[in-house]
Amino acid sequence: MTPPPASAPSSPSSSGSSAASVAGSGDRYARGLAALSLVTGTDHPAVLDPVAEIAPDLARFTVEFGYGDVWSQPGLTPRQRQIGTVAALAALGNAAPQLRFHIAGALNVGCTRREIVETCIHTTVYAGFPAALNALSAAREVFTARADSGTDPDPEPASAAVPAAEVTPAADRYARGIALLKEVDGPAGPHVVDSLADIAPDLGRFVVEYAFGDVYARTGLDLHTRELASIAMCTALGTAGPQLRVHLRAFLNVGGTREEIVTLLTQLAGYAGFPAALNGVAAAREIFAEQDAAS
Amino acid sequence: MTPPPASAPSSPSSSGSSAASVAGSGDRYARGLAALSLVTGTDHPAVLDPVAEIAPDLARFTVEFGYGDVWSQPGLTPRQRQIGTVAALAALGNAAPQLRFHIAGALNVGCTRREIVETCIHTTVYAGFPAALNALSAAREVFTARADSGTDPDPEPASAAVPAAEVTPAADRYARGIALLKEVDGPAGPHVVDSLADIAPDLGRFVVEYAFGDVYARTGLDLHTRELASIAMCTALGTAGPQLRVHLRAFLNVGGTREEIVTLLTQLAGYAGFPAALNGVAAAREIFAEQDAAS
Amino acid sequence: MTPPPASAPSSPSSSGSSAASVAGSGDRYARGLAALSLVTGTDHPAVLDPVAEIAPDLARFTVEFGYGDVWSQPGLTPRQRQIGTVAALAALGNAAPQLRFHIAGALNVGCTRREIVETCIHTTVYAGFPAALNALSAAREVFTARADSGTDPDPEPASAAVPAAEVTPAADRYARGIALLKEVDGPAGPHVVDSLADIAPDLGRFVVEYAFGDVYARTGLDLHTRELASIAMCTALGTAGPQLRVHLRAFLNVGGTREEIVTLLTQLAGYAGFPAALNGVAAAREIFAEQDAAS
């Protein structure tokens, strides 16, 4: 056995590893560090140094497993990965430092401020306005810090990130929402709304008018990415089983692939735990089987 | 299409809106702003200004949807709405700024400090002592800030908010708890306790002695409002399906109405997300059908 | 009726209680205060004083119920109780003050820094890396504060808490993981992995290589305690039903007892709420019945 490839992640050891170790871990570590460099936008990411001081293996696992094994898999673009992570952490609402880190990471791999803000607005639907507003606060901090650092590759003021949309009359909101609900969710969408008519008609109307007419109808985040965010949020929360199934179908309806779904769910093991990922895969298995049976 | 009625929520634009826009959105915005003014206790609430700087539409959605559509619905009093929101956010435990905002809002619409503190104590039962203690810290901050501001309509010191209750001997706690459990939950209450007798008898005893004998037996929050808080907590958590069903029945047992339940669940879409609200309505549908079949 | 035994928990009243009160509450309060003293490492714990100022009954309930009734039960050692609480709060990720309090409490009842850090690393599996990293930050704060206070009974620097493990080649990680998965989970472990082969093979491989090959294989926390932490995390989250059942079986496989399980689940009522505890007991009932039927 050889020493670990790095006691501090920012300075990976190059001291004599055996071939077995290089094959077994060195590659994973090097690959992870390269991925982490993309996300942090620095060649020598120091973010895990405080972790390494007290728990060097946790720092190493983060690099090897989180970035070397998971993040480096094909199946999703870096941009999709970061939107998925931001969506999951925004919905969970209990990991502000990591949410800020991954908002910055999203910008570093090419997401726009607009896409970040849209993901925060999207959070209102799946986790409520408090979670969305707190995610937006995290985004504001990141945008401001980058502007203040003078090294912002995108020097527009944060306040210019997202222009106000035009306001739609109420009648149009419903019509727009129901059309989009059909496009995205197929027959299941209007069915959810119809099933609420006898018990909670206003809630059904708000699903159409607000969730779809106001939020899903927004530009700035394409439907494919919106549904990816919806899956990430429902999976991370772990309390939205029926809605996760609706949005797994919807993601496939708007052009998403099974590979993207499985890759996203696998990534969420690292951000919301293996149980969340495994339960997400169980839902995906149902939807894939249902579609295979219908085709 | 017209410009949005307000780029900053604290200064709604009055510039020439078309009739369609006024009918479609202006009314919702104006109604929302009036509701938000009640909650904040100010004519020109500035709370959304930082949101509007970076995401003007999210600020607008909060006013139009959160306050204009949802909060302004009939079916619950402002006091009930605010207790429900405080209960949900206290149980979730991940939105401290919004919890403080809505504790202040509860006081602004006429809830007493005593009711806020009782809601925090009630949180121990559904989300544990850590969530309850952190909610109480939020309440303390709000009470202190109002006292310090010199504009507190209720100038009693925070320390006088809730007098210590008399202490009840253990035997009386059990008897009081079981009587209350029967009154509130009907036969389902003692059934839960009996079903624990062979596997976790102490947990069953604690349900009776602590949850009902100590907490539900307290004055300061009437049973109708306690059960409303229980439903809000179980729905927002999303992990308490069996308990949500018990308390939907209990709420109806102590005089609550179906309209109150549906209005509360609809409101929770805004605080815990649409999936939580939709899953709550699915549970309510079961309970309503069960009661229709029995009558 | 007598006055409450203490309006401020740090100074329990000794003024004339009736025999009934002493039997009914005074004992519970005194027993709770003794337990709280063990956890805080002080004879006169002041931690609840700010609570008592505003909600004296909540402070009293914490002592009487949380420590007098629950913590003082036999069935788990103080060390097991504190690891279980740290595990639950680390997984929930929304109660930083209480997590720090109980990490210090774990050290006060004899847990080592190594065990705390291992519990944080274990958290990656059940709640993801963000929750684990935030728990580790809490641990670092506690370790540092104790070192700075000059009264640390264990004066080693925090940085020396956990040595880096040797790095294992990838092939060995899989073999080690699958062997451990069989030892811990019995046939159900490899079955979970096999069932992922057709849909999410990488996730199945990561369960083996990372969760078991990297994390469960670590020394520093024995398997009995690891499984206790797994049960605490799955129960507190409330979103990991299938995984909770796997780990209830696993805990019994590695020498844990039904009494420990029930005592732990009962304790979790205080940290994650009664619904979480009751749903945990429902899962335990299934597993116990399954094992009774098989024997």
pLDDT confidence of residue B144: 93
CATH number, residue C112: 1.20.1290.10
Rounded to the nearest angstrom, the gap between the alpha carbon of residue B274 and the centroid of all alpha carbons in its chain is 16
Residue C1 lies in a domain: no
pLDDT the model gives residue C43: 87
Q: Tokens 């809106």 label which residue?
A: B17
DSSP string, B19-60: HHHIIIIIHHHHHHHHHHHHHHTSSS--TTHHHHHH-HHHHH
Q: Domain range spanning residue C48?
A: 25-71
Among B108, B132, B160, where does a domain finish? B160
Place of tokens 């963000």: C130
The pLDDT value recorded for residue B234 is: 98
Residue C160 reports pLDDT greater than 60: no
Taking the C-alpha atoms of residue B166 and residue B177, their distance in angstroms, rounded to an integer, is: 15
DSSP at A2: B
| Mean pLDDT score, A213-225 | 94
Note whether B88 and B153 are same-domain residues: yes
What is the torsion angle, in degrees rounded to the nearest 10, for the CA atoms of residue B175, residue B180, residue B183 and residue B187? Answer: -70
- With respect to residue B279, please indicate whether it lies within any of the assigned structural domains: yes
Q: What is the pLDDT of residue A2?
A: 35
Mutate to test the interface with A, among B274, B285, B290, B291 (most CBs of A within 10 A): B274
Euclidean distance between CA atoms B85 and B215, whole angstroms:
20
Q: Where are the beta strands (DSSP E) in C185-289?
A: none
Check CB contact under 8 Å for C270 and B128: yes
Report CA-CA distances (Å) from A168 to A10, A204, C16, C163: 51, 19, 70, 60
State how far the alpha carbon of A148 is from the alpha carbons of A135, A145, A155, in Å.
Answer: 20, 5, 10
Contact: C203, A285; criterion CB under 8 Å: no
- Select the residue from A57, A67, A231, A266 to test the C interface by mutation, using most C Cβ atoms within 10 A: A57
pLDDT band at C190 (very low <50, low <70, confident <90, very high): confident
Q: Quick one: pLDDT at residue A186?
A: 84
pLDDT computed for residue A166 by the predictor: 67
C-alpha distances in Å from residue C63, one per residue of B129, B220, C21, C37, C46: 11, 22, 16, 10, 12
- For residue B161, what pLDDT is reported? 55
Same domain, B282 and B214: yes
| A282 is a domain residue | yes
Chosen domain end from A150, A183, A213: A150
Which pLDDT score, from 0 to 100, does residue B25 have?
58
Amino acid found at A9: P
Q: At what angle do helices C223-237 and C258-272 cross, to 10 degrees?
A: 40
CA-to-CA distance for A290 and C120, rounded, in angstroms? Answer: 39
C144: chain A residues, CB-CB within 8 Å:
none
Our CA-based measurement puts residue A77 at a distance from the nearest CA of chain C, in whole angstroms, of 17
Q: According to the model, what pLDDT value does residue B107 have?
A: 96
B124 to chain C: which residues are within 8 Å by CB? 58, 61, 270, 273
Q: Where are the alpha helices (DSSP H) in A72-152?
A: 78-92, 96-108, 113-127, 129-149
Does the structure show a pLDDT above 50 at A182? Answer: yes
User: Is A139 in contact with A101 (CB distance < 8 Å)?
Assistant: no
Contact B135, C30 (CB under 8 A): no
Contact A170 B69 (CB under 8 A): no
The shortest CB-CB distance from C54 to any of B136, B170, B242 is to B136
Please check whether residue A139 is in contact with residue A159, taking contact to mean a CB–CB distance below 8 angstroms. Answer: no
Which residues fall within 8 angstroms of residue A52, CB to CB, at 6 or more apart? A6, A7, A8, A9, A59, A60
Indicate if B206 and B279 belong to the same structural domain. Answer: yes
Q: Which of C278, C285, C286 is the best residue to mutate to test the B interface, defined by the most B CB atoms within 10 Å of its own CB?
A: C278
Report in angstroms the alpha-carbon separations of C76 from B125, C82, C266, C267, C269: 22, 10, 11, 10, 15
Nearest residue to B93 via CA among C198, C132, C236 = C236
On whether both C51 and C103 belong to a single domain, the answer is no
B166/C133: higher pLDDT: C133
Phi and psi (nearest 5°) for C2?
Answer: -110, 165
Q: What is the mean pLDDT of residues A247-269?
A: 97
Stronger pLDDT, B70 or A151, i.e. the higher one: B70
Neighbours of B92 (CB within 10 A): 26
Q: From CA B280, how far away is CA B274, in angstroms rounded?
A: 10
d(CA C240, CA C232): 11
CA distance A230 to A267: 15
Residue B153, pLDDT score: 59
C233-249 tens-digit pLDDT = 999 999 999 999 999 99
Are residues A91 and A61 located together in one domain of the fold?
no
Q: Do B202 and C271 count as a contact with CB atoms less than 8 A apart? A: no
Residues C95 and C175 in one domain: no
Same domain, B156 and B250: no
Residue B199 to residue C251: CA distance in whole angstroms: 17
Neighbours of C229 (CB within 10 A): 28
**B129, C282: Cβ pair inside 8 Å?**
no
- B45 confidence band (pLDDT: 50, 70, 90): confident
Residues of B with Cβ-Cβ distance to C70 under 8 angstroms? 206
Smallest CA-to-CA distance from C220 within C176, C167, C270, C161 is with C161
Q: Is B179 exposed, middle or buried (0-12, 13-18, 19+ CB in 10 A)?
A: middle
In sign, the C-alpha dihedral spanning B202, B208, B212, B218 is negative
A122 is a domain residue: yes
CB B271 within 8 A of CB B85: yes
- Looking at the DSSP bridge assignments, the partners of residue C287 are none
Residues of B in contact with A159 (CB under 8 A): 53-54
**Among B124, B158, B209, whose Cβ lies nearest the Cβ of C54?**
B158
pLDDT, position C45: 85
pLDDT at A5: 37
Beta pairing partners, C259: none
Give the distance from CA A136 to its chain's centroid. 15
Confidence check on the interface: ipTM exceeds 0.90, yes or no: no
Write down the pLDDT at residue C17. Answer: 32
Are A65 and A39 contained in the same domain?
Answer: yes
Q: Which of A226-240, B12-26, C190-204, C261-275 has the lowest mean pLDDT?
A: B12-26
pLDDT, residue A143, reads 95
Residue A159 belongs to a domain: no
Domain count, chain B: 2
**Chain C positions in Cβ-Cβ contact with residue B200 (cut-off 8 Å):** 262, 265-266, 281, 284
Structure tokens at C79: 């060390």
Is the pLDDT score of A21 beyond 80? Answer: no
The alpha-carbon gap from C189 to the nearest alpha carbon of chain A, in Å, equals 13
How large is the angle between the packed helices C113-127 and C78-92, nearest 10 degrees?
40
In-domain check, residue C174: yes
pLDDT at B59 over 90: yes
Q: What is the pLDDT of residue A16?
A: 32
Q: Residue B116: in which H helix or E strand, if any? A: helix B113-127
Please report the pLDDT score of residue A153 as a whole number.
Answer: 59
Looking at the structure, do residues A185 and A276 belong to the same domain, yes or no?
A: yes
Rg (CA), chain A: 21
A232 domain-assigned: yes
Per-residue pLDDT for A3 more than 70? no
Position B236 in a domain: yes
- Tell me how many degrees the CA angle C20-C25-C31 measures, rounded to the nearest 5: 130
Averaged pLDDT for residues B35-59: 92
- The pLDDT tens digits of the residues spanning A96-149 come to 999 999 999 999 999 999 999 999 999 999 999 999 999 999 999 999 999 888
Local structure of B167: helix, strand or coil: strand
Cα–Cα distance, B72 to C177 (Å, whole number): 56
Judged by average pLDDT, the poorest of B8-12, B66-70, C156-160 is B8-12
Q: pLDDT-based confidence at B134, cuts 50/70/90?
A: very high
Which two tokens mark B62? Answer: 């909060």
Please tell me which residue of chain A has the smallest CA distance to C210: A65
Residues whose CB falls within 8 Å of the CB of residue C224, separated by 6 or more in sequence, listed in order: C251, C254, C255, C256
Query: If pLDDT is split at 50, 70 and 90, which confidence band does C156 have?
Result: low
* Average pLDDT rounded to a whole number, residues A195-207: 94
pLDDT at C157 over 90: no
Residue A22 confidence (pLDDT) above 90 = no
Q: Which residues of B touch C92 (CB under 8 A)?
A: 93, 130
**Which helix (H) or strand (E) element contains residue A244?**
helix A241-253
Task: Please tell me whether residues C233 and C254 are part of one structural domain.
Answer: yes
Q: Kindly state whether residues A175 and A275 are assigned to the same domain.
A: yes
Contact between B174 and B190 under an 8 Å Cβ cutoff? The reply is no
Place of tokens 């205080």: C270
Judged against a pLDDT cut of 70, whether residue C290 lies above it is answered with yes
> Do B103 and B146 belong together in one domain?
yes
Q: What is the mean pLDDT of residues C127-132?
A: 97
Contact of A235 with A280, CB cutoff 8 Å: yes
Is the sign of the CA dihedral A221, A223, A99, A56 positive or negative? negative
Q: 10 Å Cβ neighbour count for A43?
A: 9
With vertex at residue B164, the alpha carbon angle to CA B159 and CA B166, rounded to the nearest 5 degrees, is: 170
Distance from CA of B121 to the nearest CA of C (A): 6
Per-residue pLDDT, averaged over C247-265, amounts to 97
